[in-house]
Amino acid sequence: MGEVGDGHRSLQTVASYTSGPERLHMCYTFDLLSPEFSAAYVRGHIEAFEEAAPEGWVCWAFSNHDVPRHVSRWLRPDEDVDAMARFSIALLCCLRGSICIYQGEELGLTEADLAFEDLRDPYGIRFWPGYKGRDGCRTPMVWEEEEANGGFSTAKPWLPVPAEHIARAVDVQDKTAGSVLNHYRAMLKMRRESPALMRGTIRLVDGHDKDVLAFEREAEGERLLCAFNFGTETVRLADPDGTELPPLGWQVKPF
């Protein structure tokens, strides 16, 4: 896997280096690590990649160790963290390409607000408080609610474990039906068992509300309609056979 950052030429570089069997299997994209999150924005990047590298293979991600965690980046006032986490993994699992999940994302961890004396990132230390650096997304994984440092280590970790993360530890969510962790497991299982989502083509669907991103995935006799409402208002859509879908948050429907 290549990490390709080449400014305005990135997509062309991805196309060049993932087309054909003699180069890279796939390239990691930075396109969806932005603070921007809308139907138009995601659609634009899908279109750009499909145009530039129709025979290539991309690796999509929403979070990594260099950007604020996506549930904090994209969350609007009065919006639910868990709802954002569920929506985003459903979307990620439906995109054409491979996907990359950053540690703690599957728990719905938010960006940590750290004190200056806890920082380790040289950029944050140098430019505090205008820029607090990247340590807010680099805090330890939380495994066990009752253990020191969330079960990450008995020694002092390089960054503190935020109190709000402890309640989202793996052992808490593992036994909670409908938790973010179990929703991630369900979405990943759905993707793994679907030829259309794993290997299929993608075709964007027009003629719907501006806040809705809809596309079809198809492979090996399986055809899916994937629809996502990025807005705050209820939206109703009809699938290609004319059947009205339930009020839309997100939905993946075979047809």
Task: Please give the residue that has the higher pLDDT: either 79 or 252.
Answer: 79
Q: Is the pLDDT of residue 95 over 90?
A: yes
**Mean pLDDT in residue range 173-178:** 94
**Mean pLDDT in residue range 183-200:** 97
Q: How many Å from the N-terminal Cα to the C-terminal Cα in the chain?
A: 34
- Average pLDDT in the chain: 90
Cis peptide, bond prior to residue 157, ω within 30 of zero: no
Residue 78 binned pLDDT confidence (cut-offs 50, 70, 90): confident
Residue 235 is encoded by which pair of tokens? 């939206």
- The CATH topology of domain 2-199 is TIM Barrel (3.20.20)
Cα–Cα distance for residue pair 50/34, rounded to 1 Å: 19
Q: Are 240 and 227 in contact (CB under 8 A)?
A: no
**Mean pLDDT in residue range 170-183:** 96
* CA atoms in the 13 A half-sphere facing the CB of 101: 19
Residue 114 is encoded by which pair of tokens? 């750290």
Helices (H), 95-179: 122-127, 163-166, 170-174
Q: Is the pLDDT of residue 109 over 70?
A: yes
Bridge partners of residue 238, in order along the sequence: 244
Q: Are 88 and 70 in contact (CB under 8 A)?
A: yes
Question: Model-level pTM?
Answer: 0.91
Cα–Cα distance for residue pair 96/59, rounded to 1 Å: 9
Q: What is the pLDDT of residue 1?
A: 87
Q: What is the pLDDT of residue 61?
A: 95
Q: What is the pLDDT of residue 207?
A: 76
**Mean pLDDT in residue range 94-117:** 97
What residue spans define the domains of the chain? 2-199, 200-255
50-59 confidence digits (pLDDT tens):
988 888 888 9
Q: Are 93 and 196 in contact (CB under 8 A)?
A: no
